[in-house]
């Protein structure tokens, strides 16, 4: 596996691959890789001859008081894991490479409307940070395809919208959420959970799965279902932020004709902020 940290060396290698007519898939991450991240690499390989993984803990997407400083950084371990899953290239830029004019003078990319609700409401500026860094990665790497996890469903929708709106020439692929045996979605932030909190953490997924079953059984009292799950999260010891039953296509409120639903949730448990979602066809 080739490891580079400058855009220039990256471009050299990518240029060679393109010259040989090889397609390039990009898997953007913040590192501290787990099996969820690693599952994106073989999926990327199904779409391109070459797989580039980036690791960059993007300061712009952490809001004030969030865990930017504590975010786990485990580069040596990440390199070993990426070699095992046969990534071709690891791009590990520093802040100056990603933001050559400095964080305060950086051009910002904003996707309006669909960033105002859910995680956008609880993490103001977060999605601007995500779209600003992902658009930079897209222009540096110029991938044919980029892979994003369903776990961050709203993020994936926002990126799709950015790509469509800016008419960027690449395809976005959605990867399924990898879970622990009890249903908890793998996340770097799960390690902030105490043993006791870890034992209740999977309640988040169980409640989503319960709503999924209710929807498939024909229930359409969305607000009641959301409220019931919010109450259940509080009773289980979470500090819930939101549960939303929405149109998977654009996060708008579903109507009678909607057939693809996403049920999204975010809740705090101790020092961890957990998010999850499920897709339901009704
Ligand atoms: P992150 O490092 O948290 O920014 O995540 C990098 C990519 O991995 C994003 O596209 C995430 O959606 C994806 N990802 C994170 N957790 C999982 C998971 N449990 N299963 C599948 N993909 C995931």
The predicted-structure confidence for 127-180, as pLDDT tens digits, reads as follows 999 999 999 999 999 999 999 999 999 999 999 999 999 999 999 999 999 999
Percentage of the chain lying above the pLDDT 90 cut: 99
CA angle, 41 then 154 then 82, to 5°: 15
| Beta partners for residue 172, in sequence order | 146
Which residue is closest in CA terms to ligand 1's atom 12? 149
Q: Is any atom of ligand 1 closer than 6 Å to the C-beta of 186?
A: yes
Ligand 1 close to Cβ of residue 126 (< 6 A): no
* Dihedral sign from CA coordinates of 153, 154, 160, 163: negative
Biggest CA-to-CA distance, the chain:
58
With a 6 Å cutoff on the Cβ, whether 151 touches ligand 1 is yes
CA distances from residue 46 to 23, 145, 258, 263 in whole angstroms, order as listed: 11, 10, 31, 28
Report pLDDT for 270: 98
pLDDT bracket for residue 257 (50, 70, 90) = confident
pLDDT tens-digit map of 209-226: 999 999 999 999 999 999
**In terms of Cα–Cα distance, which of 214, 241, 243 is closest to 226?**
243
- pLDDT score recorded for residue 256: 82
Q: Which of 23, 34, 37, 126 is catalytic?
A: 37
The answer, yes or no, to whether any atom of ligand 1 lies below 6 A from the CB of 187, is yes
The Å distance, Cα 217 to ligand 1 centre, comes to 30
Closest to 3 (Cα-Cα) out of 109, 88, 128, 60: 88
Q: Is the CB of 36 under 6 A from ligand 1?
A: yes
Distance 29 CA to ligand 1 centre (A): 7
Q: Mean of the per-residue pLDDT values for the chain?
A: 98
For residue 183, what are its two tokens?
A: 């249903």
pLDDT of residue 55: 99
- Is residue 47 part of the annotated active site? The answer reads no
Alpha helices in the chain (DSSP H): 7-19, 35-45, 75-84, 95-98, 119-122, 126-141, 153-165, 195-201, 203-216, 222-235
pTM for the predicted model, two decimal places = 0.98
Instruction: Give yes or no for residue 25 having a pLDDT over 90.
Output: yes
Which residue has a Cα nearest atom 5 of ligand 1? Answer: 29
Q: For residue 53, what are the CA distances in angstroms to 45, 47, 134, 143? A: 11, 14, 13, 11
């Amino acid at each position: 596996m080739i490891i580079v940290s400058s855009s220039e060396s990256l471009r050299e290698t990518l240029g060679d691959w393109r010259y040989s007519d090889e397609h390039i898939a990009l898997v953007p991450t913040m590192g501290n890789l787990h099996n969820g991240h690693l599952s994106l690499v073989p999926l990327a390989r199904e779409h391109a001859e070459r797989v580039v993984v980036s690791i960059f803990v993007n300061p712009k997407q952490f809001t004030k008081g969030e865990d930017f400083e504590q975010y786990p950084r485990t580069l040596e371990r990440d390199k070993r894991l990426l070699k095992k899953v046969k990534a071709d290239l690891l791009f590990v830029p520093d802040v100056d490479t990603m933001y050559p004019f400095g964080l305060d003078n950086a051009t910002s990319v904003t996707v309006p409307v669909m960033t105002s609700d859910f995680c956008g409401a609880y993490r103001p500026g977060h999605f601007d940070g995500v779209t600003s860094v992902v658009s930079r990665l897209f222009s540096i790497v110029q991938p044919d395809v980029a892979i994003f996890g369903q776990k961050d469903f709203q993020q994936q929708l926002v990126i799709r919208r950015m790509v469509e709106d800016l008419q960027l020439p690449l395809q976005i692929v959605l990867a399924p959420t990898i879970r622990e045996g009890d249903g908890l979605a793998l996340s770097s932030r799960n390690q902030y959970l105490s043993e006791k909190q870890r034992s209740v953490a999977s309640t988040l997924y169980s409640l989503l799965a319960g709503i999924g079953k209710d929807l498939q059984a024909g229930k359409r009292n969305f607000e009641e279902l959301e409220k019931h799950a919010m109450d259940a999260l509080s009773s289980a010891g979470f500090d819930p932020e939101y549960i939303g039953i929405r149109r998977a296509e654009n996060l708008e409120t579903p109507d009678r004709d909607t057939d693809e639903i996403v049920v999204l949730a975010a809740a705090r448990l101790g020092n961890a902020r957990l998010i999850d979602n499920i897709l339901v066809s009704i």
